[in-house]
Amino acid sequence: MKKMYEFMGKTLVVMAIVLAVVSYMPKTTQAKTVKISRTKVTCTAKETFSLKVKGAGSKKVKWSTTKKSVATVSKKGFVVTKKAGKATIKAKVGSKTVKCNVTVKKSAKQP
């Protein structure tokens, strides 16, 4: 009978340790998919449009452009095209980056 109580006591201690270790393990969650509202835009100079990022949650979105002379982007994703050329607007959320390729064409001359 004494051996049975010792066995049960040891079993309870082991179970308590396992439970404690499991409860402190980091929880793995599936990463949200980060998407940009438009991946390709073709327009003329001096046009504006907005880009939005979905799946960012409460994380901050950092906007940037590869060519400021062609297109600029604000902190909120508002894009202003300047002159003909190509630029890529990037939105970085944590370690993920999504892109929108912008092609600015020469505006047609009006008579």
What are the tens digits of pLDDT across the range 6-29?
877 778 888 888 877 777 766 655
**pTM > 0.85: yes or no:** no
Q: Extract the tokens encoding 76.
A: 């909120």
**Cα distance between residue 64 and residue 9, in whole Å:** 62
pLDDT in tens, 27-66: 655 456 899 999 999 999 999 999 999 988 889 999 999 9
Q: What angle do CA 52, 54, 59 make, to 5 degrees?
A: 95
